[in-house]
Amino acid sequence: MPFDFKLILPETAVPIFEEALEETAGAVLTRLMEKGKYSGQWELQAIFETEPDKAVLKSLISEAATSAKIPLPKLNLKKMPDINWLEASYQGFPPIEVRDFYIYGSHISNPLPENKITLQIDAATAFGTGEHQTTHGCLEALSDLTRIPKTVLDVGCGSGILGMAFAKKYHKSVDAVDIDSESVRVAIENARKNNLEKQMTIWQSDGYAMIKKKYDLIFCNILAKPLIDMAPNLAEHLTPYGHAVLSGFLIGQEKWVRKAHEKEGLKFLKSYRINGWSTLVMIKDNT
């Protein structure tokens, strides 16, 4: 029996609560409230496949609220209908079009557009079906590349969507890693479904721990704090004048992510801002 709860949060608190709950919840979904009483605030929904430990949840929420410097939100854990909630949550989603790309689930029966790069990605226990603003921003950045890199790495690959999008658009090989074994399994399966298994090499790694070479392009769509913490590792694994596409953070956190990478010798090129979320494109400046 699945369970969930929802919280209304200010923008600055969203990434803190996401990070606090990511290891416990099966999925953490966020959206900007644009109308009504909570307009301008963010709704966070945490979904669990089975009933979670309430004491653990209360502790996580309390620590997140203290870190975010907000009043302690009320925890209202509820049972959800006994269905495959993850699959059902995406059944109602239409295909997603982002520039060159058309991303669809297996439930879509309409003919695929011939003028788009198509990717089939179903609901699964890994982040990245194209609907989130951070994934959208990364796909925008990918579409705007002016120099095609020879070597590409996706750190925190989730479903594998970014690596697959690059591989299918430019017909090149991509390496992808994730700390979560389930995400690695899902990404490998998605590569197979999209006939990209020969172009994608996917394995488990805690950040850059299991990465031995340098890359011309690195995607990293995670959260602000780990992005900042891993900035030295990213710079170390970029080739001279290599590009980094960074996302997973709110516009209010952009300056901190940018500053951490500029400290490591990267130069800001462009930002994509979508509904409160940011994606940065930076280059390793060897001048």
pLDDT at 66: 93
Q: Determine the average pLDDT of the residues in 41-60.
A: 88
Give the integer Cα–Cα distance in Å for 199 and 234.
22
Least confident of 31-45, 203-217, 228-242, 244-258: 31-45
Residue 118 lies in a domain: no
Residues 36, 159: one domain? no
Q: Determine the average pLDDT of the residues in 29-50.
A: 82
Question: Into how many domains does the chain fold?
Answer: 2
Residues 275, 141: one domain? yes
Contacts of 170 (CB under 8 A, 6+ apart): 148
Taking only the tens place, the pLDDT of each residue in 99-109 is: 889 888 876 66
Residues 57, 151: one domain? no
Q: Determine the average pLDDT of the residues in 159-187.
A: 93
Residues 189, 254: one domain? yes
**Final residue of a structural domain among 67, 82, 97:** 82
- DSSP codes of every residue in the chain: --EEEEEEE-GGGHHHHHHHHTTTSSEEEEEE--SSTTTTSEEEEEEESS---HHHHHHHHHHHHHHHT-PPPPP--EE--SS-HHHHHHHTPPPEEETTEEEE-TT--SPPPTTSEEEE----SSS-SS-SHHHHHHHHHHHT-SS--S-EEEES-TTSHHHHHHHHHH---EEEEES-HHHHHHHHHHHHHTT-TTTEEEEE-STTTT--S-EEEEEEES-HHHHHHTHHHHHHTEEEEEEEEEEEEEGGGHHHHHHHHHTTTEEEEEEEEETTEEEEEEEE---
Q: What is the average pLDDT score of the chain?
A: 87
Residue 194 lies in a domain: yes
Residues 154, 274: one domain? yes
Q: Determine the average pLDDT of the residues in 12-17.
A: 87
Beta carbons within 10 angstroms of residue 168's beta carbon: 19
Side by side, which strands form the sheet with 174-178?
200-204, 174-178, 152-155, 215-221, 238-250, 277-284, 266-274
Q: Which domain holds residue 256?
A: 130-284
Residues 148, 270: one domain? yes
Residue 111 lies in a domain: no
**Final residue of a structural domain among 54, 82, 110:** 82
Residue with tokens 């990293």: 220
Taking only the tens place, the pLDDT of each residue in 231-284 is: 999 999 999 999 999 998 888 889 999 999 999 999 999 999 988 889 999 999
Residue 139 lies in a domain: yes
Residues 168, 69: one domain? no
Residues 137, 68: one domain? no
Residues 273, 211: one domain? yes
Residue 114 lies in a domain: no
Residue 239 lies in a domain: yes
Beta bridge partners of 9: 42
Answer yes or no: is pLDDT of 223 > 50: yes
Residue 15 lies in a domain: yes
Residues 57, 180: one domain? no
Residue 104 lies in a domain: no
Residues 138, 20: one domain? no
Instruction: Give me the CATH number covering residue 251.
Output: 3.40.50.150
Residues 74, 15: one domain? yes
Instruction: Using CB atoms within 10 Å of the CB of residue 34, give its burial: 0 to 12 exposed, 13 to 18 middle, 19+ buried.
Output: exposed
Instruction: Give me the CATH number covering residue 64.
Output: 3.30.70.260
Answer yes or no: is pLDDT of 125 > 50: no
